[in-house]
Amino acid sequence: MKKIFTSCLIVMLYFSAIAQQTNWQYLGQQKKATAGFELVKSSQSEIVVKFSQSAYGLQSVNTAKGNAFVVLSYKGAQIQKKGAPDLGKNTQSVIVPDRDAMAIEVVNSKFTEVDNIDIAPSKGVISRSINPNDIPYEYGIEYQTNAFFPGDIATLGDPYIIRDFRGQTIIMQPYQYNPVTKKLRIYSEITVKVISTGKEGKNTLIRQKALTQLDSGFESIYSNHFLNFTASKYTPLSEASKKMLIICYDSYASAVQPLVTWKNSIGFTTTLVNYSTIGSAAALKTYVQNFYNTNGLTYLLIVGDNAQVPTSSTSAGDSDNNYGYTVGTDHYLDIFVGRFSAESAAQVTTQVNKTLYYERDMLSTATNLTKGVGIASNEGGSGGDNGESDEQHMNNIKTDLTNYGYTITDCYQNGGSASQLTSLINTGTGIINYVGHGSETSWASMVYTSTDVAALTNTNKYPFIISVACVVGNFKSTTCFAETWLRSTDASSNPVGAIAFCGSTINQSWASPMLAQDEMNDLLIANSYKSYGGMFVNGMFKMIDGYGTDGENMADTWTVFGDPSLYTRTPGHLNGPTASSDTQAPTAPTNLASSNVAQTTLTLSWTASTDNVGVTGYDVYKNGSFLATSTTTTYNVTGLTAGTSYSFYVKAKDAAGNASAASNTVNVTTLNPTSLTLPVTENFAASTLPTGWTTQNTGTGVTERWSMSNTANAGGAAYELMCTYQQVNPVTTRIITPPVNTVGVSSVTFSFKHMLNAYAAGVTLSLQTSNDKSTWTNTSWSVATTATDIAATTVSVPVTTNLNSNTTYFALVATGDLYQIDYWYVDNISITTGGSTTIPTVTTTAASSITSSSATSGGNVTADGGATVTERGICYATTANPTTANSKVTSGTGTGTFTANMTGLAANTLYYVRAYAINSNGTAYGTQVSFTTLTGGGGSTVIIGTGTATQGYPLSCYYGYERSASLYTVAEVGAAGIINKVEWYPTLTTTYSVPVKIYIKSTTATTITASTWATAISGATLVYNGTMAGTTANTWIAFSLSTTFSYTAGSNNILVLVETNYGTTGAGASTGPACQYTSATSKHMYIRADNTAPTGTATVSSYRPNIRLTFANRGVTPQVNETRDITSISGISVYPNPTEGEFKLQINSEYTGAVQVTIYNTIGQIIKTVPFNKSNVNEERQISLANLPAGIYVVNVKMNGETMNSRIVLK
């Protein structure tokens, strides 16, 4: 490494720079800013790349600490880590091996250092709904660390796949800054090698066949995007090979047909599919995936609004582009995707006619083709890409487009107006670039609304638009701004508006889409792409390379409204595409016949047609409606209904769009369904659904929820069925058996194992039956979800509905707000004839209210097994697996939850408990639980939380410094007392030794509000400061408190706060010891960091750890020591004690007046209140405890600001 020092004197000159002005500092003799990547070597095992730059940019900003600088890379992006030094980076993608995990090594570098310079902190990713200038500079933990940021000058992004190649982004970070020493390091050269680690990586590319040809639409993308792409190695497919799939709302098919004909005439193979043959967003994605795999595909055009053909979604938001992710698990499009959004056939016709005129009929001499408009807000600056304000950004684009041959007119927020823009569009413009704020119905910087668009008169002068703005493309629930540009017509119904518009469905970020817009315009100028989709997609690839996750979110949600294959007309290529002059149609196909007829599928075959030029495909029609296109003389028809008659015919077509006459018609009836014979057993032993099993998913936006999971959570063996949550409401999702022959049968028993990983209330699980999979009938079994999991259990349901049929279908169903479950697992389904022959199904509740001589447990009878439960309760013993022959406590009959109290227990003794339920078929037992009684002296324990899901907190040490806080309410904790032990329940055995601190404090808050850790522990008592020396799986880990905590109950809840301080980067796995938790909304909070303690705001969640608290003097309110005058001392006494039902309360006090007596049980519940007026010094009252269960009760007396407690034992 060569190290070059420069004087810091020159830095002092920088402070005279104008704010937001970028000053380029040159690193050599060349006085021009450049930055670029050079491919030194590329082989299967090693890629060597050299990065070099001639200058770096400094932008002066004002922070709370005074003037500072932002460091910019030429043609680069910013790191954007909030609070860290705001430094630039440069990125470049390379093709990497299909399956290897890759590593990067720095081979050589040269750098310069500048001393005593202040670098401003990054503001992070900023939404365009916010003005960057309104966000203050906040200095992060990096400014307290004596180290260079970033630590690495070269890293690799996650691998991704674009159709034919797997790529990774080389991220060069040529600037490092040490905030403590104020030293800035600038690298002028960095050479790296990217090598295989010899291990399999993630997001691998699995090829079905060797790559020998490339789609011509993507060849230029590869050449532009990948540094090591060698075009000469592959044969580009001809223009005629471009394949386009149009998925159309059925009633709009005739309106879009002229576009199909035109596209075929200019070399496309276009397939039109009616949406009704697909049916849902999930099915549409699967259809596109299969079409891509089978036929190859370049362009996807969706025709219809969301109500007609639904959009898909990703974690970022609504996303048509999600349909174009067909290879790998990344966010780089493999297909160009666009939409003709329309709510009527007339609106489709408007967009088709625009496209036809623009590509086919518009003359190359049209003056609008060389005119353009730039629109920019008056905001931005340090938050923008390359530190540019919106105006600087648009000025740069204007310069580039002007040099290319456009005449660009500014219509900025400062100086522009709606009337000016309307005039420019009506007189003719070919391109509009916009950067600024937006809404669902307008551009908000230089306000231009949907009403303004609808009033345009620019027929036959349609611009294409690149829009960087928030939510202008949010079309799912309203007619958005982008849709208006595409749909509008004038008073004579002539099309007006734009030919294509890219608009986001969500709030866009400030910087990343600016980089994409720059790239889109640069590619247009270079004549790299003639299709709007190609230009648009390549710009998004550049954005993802530069901005990572934020770039992916923008790419997911940036939607093309219009034809993605649109041939853009620009000063560099004024002419449109040329159509074939062929007008001769192919001959009609002959000898159409069917074969391989099954219940839901069949095969069609025919004799080939002939054509003067060549047949490009065959359109298949079902029952008189278009079904699909085949490029061969056979077609496999799927998705049919068993026992149903259909008619089919076929038409041939050529590249010019000429269609033949219809073939002969063939009539076919599918086979009747094959019913299963009783008894039926299915244990799901494979990774795919068994033959004949189907699903139904009903609800707006719902996707397939059922899959096979390689787990055994329901109590069977892998595999098992799994139903997964989705944020859609309401939803009904079913897993359906094949038809079962129940002829002559009047009752069956449907049995299954299941387990529910719950989230909250809002979903009903049930069993239904049907004879046609259309009309469904509920059976006797249903369960409403709560925040508590349903442990693995077996359910047997007697069924009498929809029987005595050759086609009885059974369905397990989840209905409601599907976000309120996490996962529902189902296994080992059986259907047997006759009534139930099974015992009940029962679960056991964890022990609680544990004292030295008593405890409480219980259970839940979830199914009666088809016979009445005549007895239920708990049995317990000091040996494992107790039965009703041991000690037992009965608690009612029937199904449902119950509790039972155990008394007369021995102190400091381990007990085992099982719930039981009895019906005529026998006795069923729940899962065994255990507990240990206290050692005596009035102590007790309480367990809060019964969930079995796991997480690291509160004992995780995956990060070097972990913090978590959990709130438990007085209703859960119970009566007052002295807390002397805290325990959590890990499910993994660990061996690492970790410093642990535990704090407790009282609070009247009922939920946790996000705060810093310092705020959270303010006022808390440090009750434990020691070490956790590993954990044992499925055993409570106890922390005996070095400082006990006085819990006063009343209106006080408690907050338990835990620190693990391993240091550096942590000791264990991400799950830590996998402590069990129960969902409790906004009652848990966590924050974590490596190397130094976290200082930011914590994250609030619902994953509250299960906890066991041990008390001394349970039920006695801890008193605050205070000095009183001897004459004011008060006292109470109760007798007889123990009592058999009534006792006397004596109050000794000089006070006369109102008195409130409250009786509590040992878990803090109020049993009764007795208010009265005291009139004597020694007052006595008789109080009844009749009809209460035996046990210990607390007598609480409040008067004259005093609180006094005593215990009473009821025999």
Catalytic residue among 331, 437, 754, 1084: 437
Q: What are phi and psi of 751, to 5 degrees?
A: -115, 145
Catalytic residue among 470, 502, 957, 1075: 470
Alpha helices by DSSP H, listed for 1043-1137, are: none
- Using DSSP's 3-state secondary structure scheme, residue 749 falls into strand
Distance CA 565, CA 299 (A): 6
- Using DSSP's 3-state secondary structure scheme, residue 80 falls into coil
Per the CB < 8 A criterion, the answer to whether 765 and 783 are in contact is: yes
Please count the other Cβ atoms lying within 10 Å of the Cβ belonging to residue 112.
17
Please count the other Cβ atoms lying within 10 Å of the Cβ belonging to residue 1165.
11
Residues of the chain by 3-state class (helix, strand, coil), percent to 5: 15, 45, 40
Residue 172, beta-bridge partner list: 90, 154
| Tokens 């109760």, located at residue | 1134
Whether 411 is catalytic? no
Distance CA 1047, CA 1053 (A): 9
- Give the alpha-carbon dihedral of 1165, 1170, 1176, 1180, to 10 degrees: -80
Roughly what angle, to the nearest 10 degrees, separates helices 512-525 and 390-404?
Answer: 10
- Chain length of the chain: 1211
Question: Which amino acid belongs to residue 301?
Answer: L
Distance CA 705, CA 826 (A): 13
Distance CA 942, CA 930 (A): 14
Distance CA 955, CA 1027 (A): 11
Please count the other Cβ atoms lying within 10 Å of the Cβ belonging to residue 896.
12
**SS3 labels along 1153-1175:** EEEEEEEECCCCCEEEEEEEEEC
What is 811-825 written as a DSSP string? EEEEEE-GGGEEEEE
Question: Which amino acid belongs to residue 1117?
Answer: T
Distance CA 296, CA 283 (A): 18
Distance CA 1185, CA 446 (A): 77
Distance CA 341, CA 300 (A): 13
Q: What are phi and psi of 54, to 5 degrees?
A: -105, -10
Question: Which amino acid belongs to residue 1097?
Answer: T
Terminal CA-CA length for the chain: 86
Residue 1183, beta-bridge partner list: 1143
Long-range Cβ contact pairs of 209-217 (< 8 A, separation 24 or more): 211/164, 213/237, 214/164, 215/163, 215/241, 215/242, 215/296, 215/298, 216/241, 216/242, 217/242, 217/298, 217/299, 217/336, 217/531, 217/534
Segments of 10-159 assigned E as strands: 22-26, 35-42, 46-53, 55-63, 66-72, 77-78, 88-96, 100-114, 154-156
Distance CA 1034, CA 136 (A): 48
Q: What are phi and psi of 539, to 5 degrees?
A: -60, -40
Going by DSSP bridges, is the β-strand pair 448-449/442-443 parallel, antiparallel, or unpaired?
Answer: antiparallel
Which residues are identified as catalytic? 437, 470
